[in-house]
């Protein structure tokens, strides 16, 4: 009997691939170091027992048909799973898993806080200024920034990552904390003095707004024109969640009109494009008070290895007839 066949859509941390090979599985890793084309994806999944895709791979019914009846699991190499058609998978009895982990939570929380600090203290602007040899001596007016101490942080989505950001804010920087979530988080209320508010009230009182919600129909364009109109003009937006949670057009208008003080973005609405529409001449990269990073919030060695192992262990469990460790839900 042939050993199970697993297709991995791109080379990443080796730990998971080694774990799969140690089981005797046949592991086919896409050789190119770029996002796999649709044609190549459909060709390579044929006859597979498992697929290990990245968040850049759209996994839908076309993929399931191309894979055939042998496909048992899609082990998504990401915490989010908006790239996978869960309904189509369920209809075909295919299990979908993701890779939540404490290491990923901490990595993303660190990155969100790095963006917050960098915006508040205008570090990228000062770096460009200094490297351009414009610094000719100390001045009391150079790059006046914003304190974090005593300011209010609004967490939108108080799950594992949001709570990790909250702990850093309160315990490390003496910030006040409010949060908006469909569910209460009694832990951060008790531990950090957090107060749950409706989103509209949170936006009105927060000096920093950090987004930590999954991309769902209900969260697409969660931040749009009306939401930006509620924010303080001195407030900053941080997004390390998913790009379409923010209406890019509305954000650009808010930045142009100085409706908000700035933004730190690790994800983009039309990713991998940083701007959805270049015809309007409003580009995110042209604002000095916007910091852009290329979807790297979880990009630490420890987090990537952990994600790799979790994805592999889900495949091993399902192909062994056991329940998945982290089913997507």
Report, as residue numbers or ranges, the catalytic residues. Answer: 242, 271, 295
What's the CA angle centered on 98, arms 59 and 107, to 5 degrees?
Answer: 120
Interatomic CA distance for residues 113 and 169, integer angstroms: 8
Do strands 26-29 and 95-97 pair parallel, antiparallel, or not at all (unpaired)? unpaired
Interatomic CA distance for residues 249 and 255, integer angstroms: 10
Cβ-contact 208, 235 below 8 angstroms: yes
What string of H, E and C letters represents the secondary structure of the chain? CCCCEEEECCCCCHHHHHHHHHCCCEEEECCCCCCCCHHHHHHHCCCCCEEECECCCCECHHHHHHHCCCCCEEECECCCCCCECHHHHHHCCCEEECCCCHHHHHHHHHHHHHHHHHHHCCHHHHHHHHHCCCCCCCCCCCCCCCCCCCCEEEEECCCHHHHHHHHHHHHHHCCEEEEECCCCCHHHHHHHCCEECCHHHHHHHCCEEEECCCCCCCCCCCECHHHHHHCCCCCEEEECCCHHHECHHHHHHHHHCCCCCEEEECCCCCCCCCCCCCCCCCCHHHCCCEEECCCCCCCCHHHHHHHHHHHHHHHHHHHCCCCCCCECC
Cβ-contact 73, 314 below 8 angstroms: yes
């Amino acid at each position: 009997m042939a050993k199970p066949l697993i297709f991995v859509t791109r080379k990443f941390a080796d730990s998971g691939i080694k774990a799969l090979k140690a089981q005797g599985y046949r592991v086919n890793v896409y050789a190119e170091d770029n996002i796999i084309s649709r044609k190549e994806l459909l060709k390579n999944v044929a006859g597979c027992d498992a697929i290990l895709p990245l968040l850049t791979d759209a996994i839908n019914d076309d993929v399931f048909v191309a894979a055939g009846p042998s496909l048992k699991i899609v082990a998504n190499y990401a915490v989010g799973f908006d790239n996978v058609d869960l309904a189509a998978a369920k209809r075909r009895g295919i299990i979908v898993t993701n890779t939540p982990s404490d290491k990923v939570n901490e990595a993303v929380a660190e990155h969100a806080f790095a963006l917050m600090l960098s915006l508040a203290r205008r570090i990228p602007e000062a770096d460009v200024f200094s490297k351009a040899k414009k610094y000719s001596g100390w001045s009391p007016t150079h790059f006046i920034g914003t304190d974090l101490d005593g300011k209010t942080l609004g967490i939108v989505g108080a799950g594992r990552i949001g709570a990790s950001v909250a702990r850093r804010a309160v315990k490390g920087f003496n910030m006040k904390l409010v949060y908006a979530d469909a569910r209460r988080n009694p832990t951060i209320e008790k531990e950090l003095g957090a107060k749950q508010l409706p989103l509209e009230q949170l936006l009105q009182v927060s000096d920093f707004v950090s987004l930590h919600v999954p991309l769902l129909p209900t969260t697409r364009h969660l931040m749009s024109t009306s939401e930006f109109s509620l924010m303080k003009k001195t407030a900053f937006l941080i997004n390390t969640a998913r790009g379409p949670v923010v209406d890019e057009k509305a954000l650009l208008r808010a930045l142009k009109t100085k409706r908000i003080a700035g933004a730190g973005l690790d994800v983009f609405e039309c990713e991998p494009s940083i701007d959805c529409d270049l015809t309007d001449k409003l580009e995110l990269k042209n604002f000095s008070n916007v910091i852009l990073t290329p979807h790297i919030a979880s990009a630490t060695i420890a987090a990537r290895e952990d994600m790799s192992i979790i994805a592999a262990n889900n495949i091993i469990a399902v192909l062994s007839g056991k329940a998945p460790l982290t089913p997507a839900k």
